[in-house]
Amino acid sequence: MKTKLWFILPMFGLIFAACQKDELIVNDDNLKNRVIATLNEPGCLIDDGETPLIAGQTDTVGLVTVEFVGDDIVVTYTTDEGWFITETHLHIAASEEDLRAQVTNRGGNPQIGNFDYGDDDLYTDEVTYTIPKGDIDPEPSDGCYYIAAHAVVVGPGEGEGGVVDLDAFNAMFPEDGLLVDVNLGGGPAPGNRSYYDDITISGGSFLDGTYDAWCIEGTVLSVYIASPTAFSTYGFLPEGIVSIPENFDKVNWLLNNVYAGMDDGEFVYTWGDLQIAIYWLLDDNEPRWLEYLYLDGYNTEEPWEEQDWWNKAKKLYDMALDLGEGFVPGCGERIGIALDYGDKQNILISYPLPCEPEEREETAWGQGCLFTPRGSWAMFFKVCE
């Protein structure tokens, strides 16, 4: 026999009937409103064989649908775009009393380990269970069933955080490189952000776009072909693309922490200072052939070590060695993509690393009546043929 609760809202003097023995207590007002609306249905009955899948007490993230197909009960979980099911636990009984007796503890809270059906290690937006009516023991006398549908779901995180899947990004490059078309545009000039401002990559790949770019080594003739191959500096790199490939982490640190016009209180850096530091990190010799870098204060008559441009480049080089060891770009940062021109001078573009929203994990239930008015917000619902 079911016991009714008279739930009184003082401000409105309204009375609601609920399928609980004590006052309905739910911490979240939105969930409370949804549960109360459902409790107005006799015995937690859902309409049209479907009920929302509620995550974290507040978010509708999908549906639980129930169909009667011949001698089977077909229960399907589906999630909205961006949400995925990782676990399910499902139980069906012929009455509310049977459901409670079969799955709840002494406090009235359901124990998902007692549920008859379920899966884990999932990552999907749809799960379906086909259950013979004969498996429900005892069988209902009125063609109605009481169902508890639990799930664990993951979905978009809140705020501006996110994660980078660097392995997935590297896998976008074939082992022999990604063939691209490049228009270098104008060359180095005073006031630039980089050696090549706004080079254009085309060819129909994910790299299509316009980027700042740098020369990788300073000792090779600058004769280019139209279609180099592109490689992630954190993935497979062909032998000989630079002399010191193990320093690409330091170069990536520079790309994310140093820019033309930056003032650190001691120096104001130009793109030329950054270019020299990149040369120095990736070449096996000290930088040379520097007249074309438009460096302030370049003087062929004085030793390099006595000139400001040398001291600025050396400071960037030393900082990269000290702070860039093991650097991996994260969300909102940039990654170096090497363009391999064979035996010609190779180029490095600064590419914005894709950032996926960080997933959050939530408990979810098919919306219905609360198992207990306090503590757990677990729910069950009734559906009839």
CA 140 to chain centroid, in Å, comes to 45
pLDDT of residue 309: 78
Q: What is the reported pLDDT for 344?
A: 78
pLDDT at 49 over 50: yes
Give the side-chain half-sphere CA count within 13 A for 180.
27
pTM of model > 0.85:
no
Separation between Cα atoms, residue 106 and residue 371, nearest integer Å:
12
Spatial distance between the Cα atoms of 324 and 258, rounded to a whole number of angstroms: 12
Average pLDDT over residues 212-225: 68
Helix 271-282 to helix 248-257 angle (10° resolution) is: 170
What CA–CA distances, in Å, run from 251 to 198, 212, 304, 363? 19, 14, 22, 43
User: Who has greater pLDDT, 104 or 286?
Assistant: 104
Residue 1 has pLDDT above 50, yes or no: no
Contact in structure between 61 and 153 (CB atoms under 8 Å): yes
Q: What is the DSSP letter of 268?
A: B
Model confidence pLDDT, tens digit, residues 313-372: 899 999 999 999 999 998 889 999 999 988 778 899 999 998 777 778 999 999 999 998
Stretch 261-275: mean pLDDT: 91
Residue range 19-46: mean pLDDT, rounded = 47
Residue 252 CA to residue 311 CA, distance in Å, equals 21
- According to the model, what pLDDT value does residue 27 have? 46
CA dist 231 and 351 (Å) reads 12
> How sure is the predictor about 133, in pLDDT bands with cuts at 50, 70 and 90?
very high
Spatial distance between the Cα atoms of 199 and 182, rounded to a whole number of angstroms: 7
Contact (Cβ atoms closer than 8 angstroms) between residue 60 and residue 100: no
pLDDT score for 38:
44
Percentage of the chain modeled with pLDDT above 90? 56
The domains found in the chain, sorted by start residue, are: 44-157+361-384 (2.60.40), 162-356 (no CATH)
Element housing 255 (H / E)? helix 248-257
Residue-level pLDDT at 335: 97
Q: What is the largest CA-CA distance in the chain?
A: 103
Closest among 327, 240, 312 to 277, alpha carbons compared: 312
pLDDT in tens, 83-121: 999 999 999 999 999 999 999 999 899 999 999 999 999
Mean pLDDT over each residue of the chain, to the nearest integer: 82
Mean pLDDT, residues 181-202: 84
Q: pLDDT value at position 171?
A: 93
Q: What is the pLDDT of residue 332?
A: 82
User: Quick one: residue 72, left, alpha or beta (phi over 0 = left, psi -120 to 50 = alpha)?
Assistant: beta
The answer to whether 146 touches 93, Cβ cutoff 8 Å, is yes
Is residue 373 pLDDT above 50, yes or no?
yes
Predicted confidence at residue 22, as pLDDT, reads 33
| pLDDT at residue 297, rounded to an integer | 55
Q: What pLDDT score was predicted for residue 161?
A: 59
